[in-house]
Amino acid sequence: MLRARQNKRLRRKAVGIVGVVILVSVLGCGRDTTLPAPAPTQSLPQPMRPVAAAPQEERRSPATYQSKGRRDPFRPSRMVMTEKPPTVHLKLTGIIREAHSYYALVESDSSPSMGYVIRENDVVDSAKVVKITKDSVMFEVQTKNSEGKLLTRYVQKEMPVESR
């Protein structure tokens, strides 16, 4: 702090002396004049001490982030809402095989007594049946993300183990 004040004072004095030299040279304009001696109270600025240069061989290691109990800025914050996986409110109760295709028997979770016989490309409870295999049914569900964009997700329902 003290050194900064001293440097500031020295700069002011140097600027004042340079200003006087410029003023005299402009006013002289070719006249043979001599510069007046500086006032005894003004002292010339002392040269700064040379700063020791860092050796070129010394290489700094790359900066690394040390959290020390702080939140990592490169991880998503907790406030970011994670999107829930889509659900199909249907329970797969059976699969029937026909000569060239499969049919699936499903029950609605919301009303257990309501059942459907479905095949590929049918739409049940806003879910489209994409594929039926001998032990599972693949549904296509379209949902919106937090930004309002339409997302297509796939949900697979498998036959319960005891029914196989």
Q: Write out the two tokens for 17.
A: 């002396």
Q: Does the pTM of the predicted model rise above 0.85? A: no
Of residues 151, 93, 152, 91, the one with CA closest to residue 124? 91
pLDDT tens, position by position, for the chain (164 residues)?
677 777 777 777 766 665 555 655 655 555 555 666 655 555 666 777 766 655 556 677 788 867 787 877 777 766 555 667 778 888 899 999 988 889 999 988 877 778 889 999 999 888 999 999 999 999 999 988 777 888 899 999 998 877 55
- Asked if 90 and 76 touch (Cβ cutoff 8 Å), the reply is no
Distance CA 34, CA 131 (A): 103
Beta-carbon count within 10 A of 112 CB: 9
Looking at the DSSP assignment, which residues form a beta bridge with residue 157? Answer: 137
User: At CA 111, angle to CA 84 and CA 163, rounded to 5?
Assistant: 80
